[in-house]
Structures are given as C-alpha cells and as structure tokens.
Amino acid sequence: MSERMAKLYEKAWNKTVEGLNDYKKNIIINNYPYEDRHDKEIADDVIREAIRLAEKWDMELSGKVTTPAP
C-alpha cells in the first residue's frame, strides 16, 4: 500500500467515525476488539464505508498533479 493510500484510509476512517451517532461511535472507540457479534457488524459497516470513501478520494486525485505553493 502506498503512503498516500495509507493517509487516505486513515483520513476516511476518522471522517467516517466522526460522522457516526454517539451509540456507534462509542462502540467503535470503546469496544475494540469487537468480540460481540453486533459490535463487529457495526465495525465492519464503518470499515466498508471508510474504504469506499478513501478509494473515492483516490479516484478523484488520480491524474491530478499537485505542487507545493511557493
């Protein structure tokens, strides 16, 4: 995995978790490693959403060259 994708996945994870309701956010933050089936299902949904978001961002960035401002 490229460093860029790792950063996109992390950013997408944080954005996805930030947007959760308090109930789900509490499960994600406090119940790791998700031994309860219900907690694991919620975590899997959040993971899928974060992956989709990161890959969407990657597709949007593909082909675009960014250069630092002077």
19 lies in some domain:
yes
Alpha-carbon distance of 48 to 65, in angstroms, equals 28
Burial of 60 (0-12, 13-18, 19+ CB in 10 A): exposed
What's residue 70's pLDDT? 57
What's residue 16's pLDDT? 98
7 lies in some domain:
yes
23 lies in some domain:
yes
What's residue 62's pLDDT? 85
- Render pLDDT for 13-29 as a digit per residue (tens, 0 to 9): 999 999 999 999 999 99
What's the total number of domains in the chain? 1
68 lies in some domain:
no
39 lies in some domain:
yes
- Render pLDDT for 26-67 as a digit per residue (tens, 0 to 9): 999 999 999 999 999 999 999 999 999 999 999 888 876 565
pTM of the predicted model as reported, rounded to 2 decimal places? 0.83
Structural domain including 20 reads: 3-60
28 lies in some domain:
yes
